[in-house]
């Protein structure tokens, strides 16, 4: 490989042992052999000996040879440079690109915030909770909505959630919607995809081609005719043609008809000096009801469309106290710890999939949390004045450009009477496509040809969007291009532009405080210290695969060639990214053994939804419309049943009997699917089974030995097989999913493929499918042809599930990781993960019982579940700690030892699910095992410790019961919230002998008990 000059890395890899270890596996070969020896094995492949031979992959997946660190860096830089970035861009089209405050990359580099898990252990996650709370507050101040959730995938999926929410809120059981045709076509496509086969219906009301908006009178007529079933009207504030809709009229119309006003907005435009806050829409100012938006551009560059940041808001005031209970996704709320210290905690969780399963308000689990964190940082860094400036600059640029371009003969505003803000459509005297191409030749991404959005357009309509990134020289070159390309003789006289009516403008300032940048940096650093990261120690959350996230992945994703590419860029300029996506498709075919792959889904739960939507489309295509049952094991993750419901398999029960929807399959004593129960269900629902969803290895960490047999039974019934691949870290490279009979599987990239969890997201998913589902794949496929890499729609595609191409930035990360693993690395990675789990289990099972009851034929894979010994439960009960209340506090003891807790009480109520991953040395695993054994001794000796844990986190145990009684999800920000220090920092705990920690716990517990006496 020839060597080019590379930008210096922003860290010194030689100081990061996990970063430079081969395949990011720090255990030495000797340590690996020692662990194998303890288990009585001599080679890694013996760990998979119990997997039925026909399911095993013969050869390692056919990936390129691994790249060493320096070559990897050079490779990704060269790859990013295959994208051709323009010198200036006027793309936007609902995904603009603004300047990014310096604080944002700084916060993005705070590893404890970026790599932490969802804050299910609030005492160890105050950093994440606070940043997401700040996001909720900033967005609440901008929008005037009281309750903003901690994020959705993107604007399009947030819109779908809004429709579901409005239907749930309808007291009359209304399920019909009117959607303005001026919403983004990409978003409308996602609505079409995801509502197909559900009970929700909608109509799209067309745009008036003269005015660029949907006239209220037309809409009113349609709405009144359908009023009895109308649950909501969804409309944009600034539409996909840049025009301002009649927001007050639309809000009032919805309310007059007893429907919800659902507004789609851009928070950047709601700054002081900008547009009216949706919380004040309507002639009386009572506001819209549900808010949807995209906020990616508050914080990060376009990344070819993702990770995005879907905004979702609800009213939560005196008139709407209960609506929030129907909202999808996570909320962070105000709380106190047991000693009355201020804290944050996730609230209203009982609505969510992990608790309510098929009755959840949504299937969303992993969200876009870290982009929300960065958006909070961006808004705080800009402050009131910075937000105003960005918004006004975008407006000023649009006005200047419009005034000057309209002097070019033949160029006119497509909608001269309709006000716009920072984007407008021009009618050209030539084809827009040809002008776009001319501009491209001059390294300018001119705009988006929107002719297809305007009925009767002659192909000459061009949308130009503006932000704070254009300076006078860019506008100058834009005008020059028009003058030259259109080549008409004389300039026209000045044209007047439509005014934005005062009723469309923001009335009161947002009131964001402004802080010194250094103060903000220190604040975010102190927040990061409240979390822990898998960088330092084992982060043993079972089923979550908290492995090490290589720094180099972050560098790759942030390379300007990748990060600044807009999803509307011509494909010829996007060759570097398209090649990555193509290779990712190919790699995952090899890894799964399945013939086709989509890279569009953005989380595991969304992968599941894609799978079930494809199942429905497949059955429909065969005229097989009676299939209304999805079989799911009892132990499945809550997203599985929630997904089935969202896809349209709503559960109807009569007494204990399920008539349709989700039917649970029991597990046998070995933790695997009970085959006799499955057979009974197949008999009972013959001809009606759409499919089965099985996690494999299952959530007990056991490989489902009968998977192929199960698949054959389901196929014989005409059903299809979904494999939840959350646990691919155990089997990647070893098991051929085609041989197992899988029709669709998702890989959670934020688990197996090293995407950081971001305190809850953004995650990512790749779905691989069998031959029979390949024609139905969502979105686009990247194909290689003589012209390079291009995009193709699968012939019977279900449609898109994301407004663009999914979380492309995450595909860059996964690609970078896969190039470091290479052919040999995929197998080695999963084998060492299984080895680490087996070794740890081997050490712990001498002290703790395993759940479900261990059997010789079900060796644990990458994770295992332990519980407390019976004698310990009895000791605890004698001390007033019931069996049901013992496991949660025992999990909190892990925090005292500087670790994160394992997954607590899932899927076994009394279980601790531990997944160590391949990212730690034997010495680290040994210390971890010793710590857990010591915890048991401590509790046996002094059970009251469980009354007082945790002791060293910044706060004591958080009172989430009170937080859920009086839910507070936002406040007006005036000062930076107080950040309490750790009582003993995790780094310090990591240096202390375990006995010294135990002694400190004894002392702290006694003092706490004394003080509460
Ligand atoms: C077994 C299993 N299935 C599905 C999911 C949902 O995946 P995601 O959070 O990426 O949507 C999870 C997440 O933890 C999981 O553990």
DSSP string, 697-724: S-TTSB--TTHHHHHHHHHHTT-EEEEE
Q: Which of 678, 654, 652 is nearest to 664 (CA)?
A: 678
Burial degree of 4 (CB within 10 A; 0-12, 13-18, 19+): exposed
Question: Which position has the token pair 């009172």?
Answer: 959
CA of 505 to the centre of ligand 1 (A): 42
In whole angstroms, what is the distance from residue 27 CA to residue 916 CA?
13
Q: What residues have CB less than 8 Å from 371, skipping those under 6 apart?
A: 151, 295, 296, 299, 300, 307, 308, 309, 758, 761, 762
- C-alpha–C-alpha distance, residues 730 and 694, integer Å: 15
Burial 829-860, CB ≥16 within 10 A → b, else e: bbbbbbbbbbbbbbbbeebbebbbebeeebbb
Give the position, in ligand 1's atom list, of the atom nearest the Cα of 364: 11
Using left for φ > 0, alpha for ψ between -120 and 50, and beta otherwise, residue 185 falls in: alpha
The gap from C-alpha 87 to its chain's centroid, in whole angstroms, comes to 31
**3-state SS, one letter per residue, for 864-903:** EEECCCHHHHHHHHHCCCCHHHCHHHHHHHHHHCCCCCCE
CA of 260 to the centre of ligand 1 (A): 31
Instruction: Identify the segments of the chain with pLDDT beneath 70.
Output: 1-3, 488-491, 854-857
Contact predicate 55/707, CB 8 Å: yes
Substitution site in 120, 151, 364, 366 for ligand 1 pocket (most atoms within 8 Å of beta carbon): 366
Any idea how long the chain is?
A: 1013
Q: Which of 161, 354, 365, 545 to mutate to test the pocket of ligand 1 (most atoms within 8 A of CB)?
A: 365
Q: How far apart are CA 793 and CA 782, in angstroms?
A: 9
> Ligand 1: does its nearest atom lie under 6 Å from the Cβ of 112?
no
Please name which of 524, 526, 543, 521 lies closest in space to residue 117, comparing C-alpha atoms: 543
Q: How far is the CA of 958 from the centre of ligand 1 (A)?
A: 25
Neighbouring C-alpha atoms within 13 Å toward the C-beta of 974: 2
SS3 assignment, position 83: coil
Residues 6+ positions from 10 with CB-CB distance below 8 Å: 109, 555
d(CA 67, CA 75): 9
pTM reported for the whole predicted model: 0.98
- DSSP secondary-structure letter at 238? B
The rounded distance, in Å, linking the Cα atoms of 927 and 843 is: 11
Q: What are phi and psi of 299, to 5 degrees?
A: -125, -35
3-state secondary structure of 159: helix
Q: Please tell me the distance from the alpha carbon of residue 189 to that of residue 568, in angstroms, as a whole number.
A: 16
Q: For residue 985, what pLDDT is reported? A: 97
Nearest-angstrom CA–CA distance, 675 and 707: 10
- 419 C-beta closer than 6 A to ligand 1: no
pLDDT value at residue 492: 74
CB 807 within 8 A of CB 42: no
Pairwise CA distance, residues 898 & 991, whole Å: 10
How remote is the CA of residue 750 from the centroid of ligand 1, in Å? Answer: 10
φ/ψ region of 72 (left if φ > 0, alpha if ψ in -120 to 50, else beta) reads alpha
3-state class (DSSP) for residue 359: helix
Q: Which residue in the block uniquely carries the two structure tokens 């982060």?
A: 539
CB of residue 604 inside a 6 A radius of ligand 1: yes
Token pair listed for 389: 């400036």
Closest C-alpha among 116, 561, 510, 90 to residue 280: 510
Exposure class string for 31-57: b at 16+ Cβ within 10 A, else e: bbbebbeeeebeebeebbeebeeebeb
> How confident is the model at residue 489, as a pLDDT?
63
* CA 642 to the chain's CA centroid: 16
Q: Using a 6 Å cutoff on CB, does residue 379 contact ligand 1?
A: no
Residue 521 phi, psi dihedral angles, 5° rounding: -60, -50
CA–CA distance, 378 with 299 (Å, rounded to integer): 6
Q: What is the pLDDT of residues 948-958, one digit of tens each?
A: 999 999 999 99
| Residue partners of 731: CB distance under 8 A and separation at least 6 | 48, 51, 696, 697, 703, 830, 861
Q: Give the distance, in angstroms, between the CA of residue 523 and the centroid of all CA atoms in the same chain.
A: 25
What would you report as the CA-atom Rg of the chain, rounded to the nearest whole angstrom? 28
| For ligand 1, mutation pick of 637, 646, 700, 902 (most atoms within 8 Å of CB) | 637
- pLDDT tens digits along 837-875: 999 999 999 999 999 876 656 789 999 999 999 999 999
The pick from 117, 726, 903 for probing ligand 1's pocket by mutation, whose C-beta has the most ligand atoms within 8 angstroms, reads 726
**In angstroms, rounded to a whole number, what is the distance separating the alpha carbons of residues 880 and 886?**
10
State the distance from the centre of ligand 1 to the C-alpha of 244, rounded, in angstroms. 39
Q: Which of 602, 753, 630, 750 is closest to 690 using CA atoms?
A: 630
Strand partners, 464: 424
Q: 845-848: long-range contacts at Cβ-Cβ below 8 A with a sequence spacing of 24 or more?
A: 847/932, 847/933, 847/936, 848/932, 848/936
8 A C-beta contact, residue 307 and residue 762? yes
Neighbours of 941 (CB within 10 A): 11
**Residue whose structure tokens are 């040395």:** 921
Which ligand 1 atom sits closest to the C-alpha of 699? 1
Q: Cβ neighbours of residue 84 under 8 Å, at least 6 residues apart? A: 443, 572, 573, 575
SS3 252: helix
pLDDT of the residue at 494: 77
Q: Find out whether the beta carbon of 603 lies less than 6 Å from any atom of ligand 1.
A: yes
Say if CB 732 and CB 725 are below 8 A apart: no
Separation of alpha carbons 55 and 738, rounded Å: 8
Q: State the pLDDT at residue 75.
A: 98
Alpha helices per DSSP H over 118-154: 126-143
**Is any ligand 1 atom within 6 A of the Cβ of residue 543?**
yes
Take atom 8 of ligand 1 and give the residue whose Cα is closest. 604
* Long-range contacts formed by 905-910: CB under 8 A, 24+ apart: 906/354, 906/543, 906/699, 907/635, 907/699, 907/700, 907/865, 908/700, 908/851, 908/852, 908/865, 908/867, 909/884, 910/851, 910/867, 910/868, 910/883, 910/886
Whether residue 307 has a cis bond before it, omega within 30° of 0: yes
Candidate of 120, 748, 801 to mutate for ligand 1, largest count of ligand atoms within 8 Å of Cβ: 748
Residues near 999 by Cβ (< 8 Å), separated by ≥ 6? none
Q: What is the pLDDT of residue 855?
A: 67
Cβ(605) – ligand 1 distance below 6 Å: yes
CA of 813 to the centre of ligand 1 (A): 19
Ligand 1 near 365 CB (within 6 A): yes
Q: Are strands 290-294 and 689-695 parallel, antiparallel or unpaired?
A: unpaired
Write out the E strands in 376-474. Answer: 412-413, 423-427, 444-445, 448-449, 461-465
723 ligand 1 Cβ < 6 A: no
Helix (H, G, I), strand (E, B) or coil at 636: coil
CA angle, corner 242, sides to 238 and 247, nearest 5?
25
Is 763's C-beta closer than 6 angstroms to any atom of ligand 1? yes
Asked if 886 and 936 count as a contact pair (C-beta separation under 8 A), the reply is: no
Q: What distance lies between CA 169 and its chain's CA centroid? A: 25
């Amino acid at each position: 490989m020839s060597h080019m000059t590379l930008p210096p890395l922003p860290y010194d890899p030689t100081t990061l042992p996990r970063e430079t270890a081969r395949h990011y596996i720090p255990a030495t070969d000797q340590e690996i052999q020692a662990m194998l020896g303890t288990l009585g094995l001599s080679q890694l492949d013996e760990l998979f000996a119990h997997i039925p031979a026909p399911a095993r992959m013969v050869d390692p997946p056919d990936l390129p040879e691994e790249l060493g660190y320096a070559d990897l860096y050079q490779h990704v830089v060269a790859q990013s440079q295959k994208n051709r970035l323009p010198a200036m861009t006027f793309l936007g089209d609902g995904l603009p690109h603004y300047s990014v405050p310096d604080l944002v990359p700084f916060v993005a580099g705070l590893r404890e915030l970026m790599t932490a898990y969802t804050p299910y252990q609030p005492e160890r996650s105050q950093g994440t909770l606070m940043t997401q709370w700040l996001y909720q507050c900033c967005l609440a101040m901008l929008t005037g909505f009281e309750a903003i959730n901690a994020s959705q995938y993107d604007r399009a999926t947030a819109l779908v959630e809004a429709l579901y929410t409005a239907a749930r809120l309808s007291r009359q059981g209304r399920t019909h919607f009117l959607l303005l045709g001026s919403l983004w076509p990409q978003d409308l496509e996602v609505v079409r995809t995801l509502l197909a086969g559900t009970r929700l219906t909608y109509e799209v009301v067309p745009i008036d081609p003269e005015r660029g908006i949907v006239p209220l009178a037309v809409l009113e007529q349609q709405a009144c005719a359908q009023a009895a079933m109308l649950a909501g009207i969804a409309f944009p504030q600034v539409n996909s043609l840049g025009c301002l809709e009649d927001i007050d009229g639309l809000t009032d119309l919805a309310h007059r008809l007893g429907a919800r006003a659902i507004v789609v907005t851009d928070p950047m435009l709601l700054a002081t000096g900008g547009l009216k806050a949706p919380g004040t829409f309507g002639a009386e100012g009572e506001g819209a009801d549900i808010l949807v938006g995209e906020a990616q551009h508050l914080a990060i560059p376009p990344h070819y469309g993702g990770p995005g940041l879907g905004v979702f808001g609800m009213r939560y005031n005196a008139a709407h106290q209960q609506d929030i209970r129907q909202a999808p996704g996570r909320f962070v709320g105000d709380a106190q710890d047991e000693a009355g210290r201020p804290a944050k905690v996730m609230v209203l969780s009982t609505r969510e999939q992990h608790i309510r399963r098929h009755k959840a308000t949504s299937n969303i689990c992993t969200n876009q949390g870290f982009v929300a964190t960065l958006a909070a940082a961006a808004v705080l860094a800009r402050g009131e004045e910075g937000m105003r400036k960005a918004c006004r600059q975008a407006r000023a640029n649009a006005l200047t450009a419009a005034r000057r371009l309209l002097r070019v003969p033949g160029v006119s505003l497509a909608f001269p009477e309709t006000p716009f803000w920072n984007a407008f459509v021009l009618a050209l005297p030539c084809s827009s496509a040809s002008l776009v191409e001319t501009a491209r030749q001059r390294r300018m991404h001119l705009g988006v040809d929107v002719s297809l959005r305007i009925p009767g357009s002659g192909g000459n309509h061009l949308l130009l969007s503006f932000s704070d990134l254009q300076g006078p020289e860019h506008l100058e070159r834009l005008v020059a291009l028009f003058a030259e390309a259109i080549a008409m003789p004389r300039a026209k006289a000045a044209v007047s532009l439509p005014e934005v009516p005062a009723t469309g403008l923001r009335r009161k300032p947002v009131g964001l405080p402004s802080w010194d940048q250094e103060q903000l940096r220190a604040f975010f650093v102190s927040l990061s210290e409240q979390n822990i990261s898998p960088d330092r120690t084992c982060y043993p959350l079972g089923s979550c695969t908290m492995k090490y996230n290589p720094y180099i992945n972050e560098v790759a994703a942030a390379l300007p060639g990748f990060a600044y590419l807009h999803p509307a860029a011509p494909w010829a300029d996007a060759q570097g990214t398209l090649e990555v996506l193509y290779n990712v498709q190919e790699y995952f075919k090899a890894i799964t053994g399945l013939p086709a792959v989509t890279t569009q889904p953005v989380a595991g739960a969304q992968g599941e939804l894609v799978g079930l939507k494809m199942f429905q489309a497949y059955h429909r295509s065969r005229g097989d419309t009676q299939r209304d049952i999805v079989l799911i094991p009892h132990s499945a993750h809550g997203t599985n049943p929630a997904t089935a419901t969202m896809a349209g398999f709503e559960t109807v029960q009569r007494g204990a009997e399920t008539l349709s929807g989700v039917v649970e399959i029991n597990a046998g004593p070995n933790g695997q699917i009970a085959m006799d129960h499955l057979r009974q269900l197949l008999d009972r629902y013959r001809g009606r089974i759409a499919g089965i969803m099985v996690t494999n290895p299952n959530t007990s960490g056991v490989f489902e030995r009968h998977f192929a047999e199960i698949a054959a039974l389901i196929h014989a019934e005409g059903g299809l097989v979904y494999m939840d691949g959350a646990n691919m870290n155990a089997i990647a490279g070893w098991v051929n999913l085609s041989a197992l009979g899988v029709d669709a599987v998702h890989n959670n990239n934020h688990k197996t493929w090293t995407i950081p969890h971001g305190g809850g997201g953004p995650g990512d998913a790749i779905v691989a499918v069998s031959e029979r589902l390949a024609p139905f794949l969502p979105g686009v496929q990247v194909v290689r042809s003589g012209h390079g890499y291009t995009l193709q729609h699968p012939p019977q595609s279900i449609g898109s599930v994301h407004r663009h191409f999914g979380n492309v930035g995450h595909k860059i990360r996964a690609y970078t990781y896969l190039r470091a693993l290479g052919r040999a690395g995929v197998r080695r990675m999963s084998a060492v993960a299984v080895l680490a789990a087996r070794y740890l289990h081997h050490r712990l099972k001498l002290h703790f019982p395993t759940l479900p009851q261990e059997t010789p034929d079900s060796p644990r894979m990458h994770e295992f579940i332990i519980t407390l010994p019976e004698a310990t439960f009895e000791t605890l009960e004698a001390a007033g700690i019931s069996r049901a209340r013992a496991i949660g506090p025992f999990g909190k003891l892990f925090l005292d030892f500087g670790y994160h807790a394992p997954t607590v009480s899932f899927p076994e109520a009394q279980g601790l699910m531990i997944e160590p991953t391949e990212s730690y040395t034997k010495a680290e695993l040994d210390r971890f095992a010793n710590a857990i054994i010591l915890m048991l001794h401590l509790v046996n000796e002094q059970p009251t410790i469980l009354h007082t844990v945790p002791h060293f986190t910044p706060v004591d145990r958080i009172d989430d019961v009170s937080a859920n009684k009086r839910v507070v999800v936002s406040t007006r920000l005036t000062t930076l919230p107080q950040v309490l220090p750790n009582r003993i920092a995790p780094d310090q705990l990591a240096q202390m002998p375990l006995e010294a920690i135990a002694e400190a716990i004894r002392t702290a517990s006694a003092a706490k008990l004394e003080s509460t006496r």
